[in-house]
Amino acid sequence: MSQTASPTGFQLRGLHVLAIIVGFFLVVIAVDTGFTVMAIRTFPGEVSVTPYEDGVAYNKKLAQLAAQDRLGWRATAQSGAGGGVTVSFRDRAGAPVTGLAVHAKLERPATESGRKTAKFAETAPGIYVARVAGLTGAWDLSLVARSRAGARFEAERRLTWR
């Protein structure tokens, strides 16, 4: 075989091809490693502290939601001035649901730090109010209401304070 020289005098040899291929894969691996490190630093992947127990309790949760649906209750929640939270409960006919024990937790949407609890008092038929200090911005409200007869109602809402 005869080799012909290029006009610039450069000849592509096997060592050059090997260096190009190895360099390509080193760049791909470096970029993938960088993205993986950034992803793990921003979200470690843990949504629940007890994932197995949450999975086992899933059918129980579905049964509770079906029972709640049979109640026909509806809840609305509003944020108020000074960290006030107002929740209104209505039954299927639109009448206020009175005499409930309402407890809630408030936590930031992106993190569980700064979690706050609230106990509500009925101020008017079907209207329950709680005061929680230090609320600004967006918070997720998870509430549980229980009647004297043992009925249970759960709701989640996102509320925003300015």
3-state secondary structure the chain: CCCCCCCCCCCCCHHHHHHHHHHHHHHHHHHHHHHHHHHHHHCCCCCCCCHHHHHHCHHHHHHHHHHHHHHCCEEEEEECHHHEEEEEEECCCCCECCCCEEEEEEECCCCCCCCEEEECEEEECCEEEEECCCCCEEEEEEEEEECCCCCEEEEEEEEEEC
Measure the CA–CA gap between 159 and 136, rounded to whole angstroms: 10
* pTM > 0.75: no
Average pLDDT along the chain:
88
Give residue 18's identity as a one-letter amino acid code: L
In this model, does residue 29 exceed pLDDT 60? yes
pLDDT at position 154, please? 92
pLDDT at position 98, please? 93
Average pLDDT of the residues in 122-148: 90
88: number of Cβ within 10 Å:
17
pLDDT at position 7, please? 75
pLDDT at position 16, please? 94
Q: How confident is the model at residue 4 (pLDDT cuts 50, 70, 90)?
A: low
